[in-house]
Structure 1
Amino acid sequence: MTTNDPAPTSTLAGIPVPDSRLAGEATELVRDLTDDLIYHHSHRVYLFGAHHGLSHRLAFDPELLYVGALFHDLGLTEKFRTSQQRFEIDGADEARAFLTARGIPEDRARLVWEGIALHTTPEIPHHMAPEVALVTAGVELDVLGIGYDALPPETREAVVAAHPRPDFKRRILRAFHAGLAHRPQTAFGNVKADVLDRFEADYTRPNFVRIIEESPWPA
């Protein structure tokens, strides 16, 4: 846990949900900054990630995973509409500041930072600490449907009943577009370049080979 004492929890579909002061403050902050789309998506990411961790018998800190899941898309919100760094880093920085301000050691806060910063980078998070890997696992299930068939239907139905996803596919793509349109250069190297390629008529996808060939080096 983030402290020496076990954090109080509630449960949803048999999945433990942190009910500590830290979790409550994280929930309040995210509720204030996000709309229903991102708020409920972020909770589903926690629940699906935690379920994945429990199913695979991974030892993880539920509070850290909860903060990572809830903050993972904060960079898409209105607060960061002028930011020029990757939206993932916006959310990661916000989460780390939130945790360290509440006395969480830097090495623990760093896990949350990494989980958020890497959640759009395929495969690599799955080889890292569970608090990092499980944010990506939750995102992959809720956004991409990876692991959908392995999730018990009753678990899926209970999670979606608590945190609905009306018209989610279309609305989350619009949210990605809104959060990235002013900083297209930050989509290079991760899956979000596909969003701009679909929705921005003038977007030119950066090409790694072309960048090498056109670098100032003579050879």
Structure 2
Amino acid sequence: MIAGELEPSIRNHSLRGFLFGRAHAAAQGLRPGTDYDEETMFLICALHDLGLAETASGPQRFELEGADAAAGFLEAHGVADERVDIVWDAIAAHTSGFSDSPVYRRRRPAAIWIAVSGIGFDVAGGPDDFPAGFADLVHDAYPRLGGTRALTAVIERQATAHPHKAPPGSLAGEILRLRHPELLPFSWDIVVDGSGWKD
């Protein structure tokens, strides 16, 4: 049901992110069930872009809409609060770039940064990041269908339809700033200029 809400290119991106994250973890000697919770990592990857579904019409940026949708879905299916919180945290921050930070890795469960790293490999990595032939196997099972450009187009489409969901500093905001600056409802300069401090 919930997977059907996403375009095939995004569903495949989510599943590739899981496989790439798991392979990257294995290359670092991390084992599922011992060093990280693989099921939680899968849930993060599988649900991380729910905020890009047509049904994600709320006022928040897509990462937060997706985190809320994932939490609601998991709670409706009896998933425990602690796991829901981990999934929510990961999805809400998955575009922030925190996953490479040693402090973030020390403070958050490994399932989060492994999932976010895998998602990142699918966006900005390449076949040389994995053993020879591994990426081909993943792409045979889950073709790119336009890959990162298709993902960007979905984010851009949502942001142009709802510019308030693309605040400064967000991924959607950056896409709007570069491609549709005329649609930005506000920028950092507008925020600063509107301050009562008159800085």
TM norm structure 1: 0.76
Q: What is the CA-CA distance between 1:125 and the residue it aligns to?
A: 6.7
Contact 2:99 / 2:117 at 8 angstroms: preserved in 1? no
Query: Is 1:136 paired with 2:116?
Result: yes
Query: Is 1:84 paired with 2:59?
Result: yes
Q: Which runs of 5+ in 1 are unaligned?
A: 1-27
Aligned ranges for residues 161-180 of structure 1 at < 5 Å?
161-180=140-159
- The one-letter code of the counterpart of 1:149 is D
Deviations 1:151-180 (A, max 9, x none): 113111110110001332332221111122
Aligned to 1:151: 130
**Distance in 2, Cα, partners of 1:140 & 1:113:** 18
Query: Is 1:42 paired with 2:23?
Result: no
Query: Is 1:211 paired with 2:191?
Result: yes
Q: What is the CA-CA distance between 1:67 and the residue it aligns to?
A: 1.3
Query: Is 1:29 paired with 2:2?
Result: yes
Aligned to 1:107: 82
Aligned to 2:139: 160
Q: What is the CA-CA distance between 1:139 and the residue it aligns to?
A: 1.8
**Distance in 2, Cα, partners of 1:113 & 1:50:** 20
Higher relative contact order structure (alpha carbons within 8 Å, sequence separation ≥ 6) = 2
- The one-letter code of the counterpart of 2:50 is L
Q: What is the CA-CA distance between 1:218 and the residue it aligns to?
A: 5.6
Q: Which runs of 5+ in 2 are unaligned?
A: none
Contact 1:53 / 1:130 at 8 angstroms: preserved in 2? no
**Distance in 2, Cα, partners of 1:213 & 1:71:** 38
**Distance in 2, Cα, partners of 1:139 & 1:92:** 15
- The one-letter code of the counterpart of 2:87 is V
**Distance in 1, Cα, partners of 2:44 & 2:149:** 24
* Alpha-carbon spacing, 1:98–1:167, altered in 2? closer, same or farther (3 Å): closer
Deviations 1:11-69 (A, max 9, x none): xxxxxxxxxxxxxxxxx521x21121111111101111122222223422111111111
> What is the alpha-carbon root mean square deviation over aligned residues?
2.2
Contact 2:67 / 2:92 at 8 angstroms: preserved in 1? yes
Q: What is the CA-CA distance between 1:108 and the residue it aligns to?
A: 1.4
Q: Counting helix residues as a fraction of each chain, which structure ranks higher?
A: 2
Percent pairwise identity? 29
- The one-letter code of the counterpart of 1:105 is A
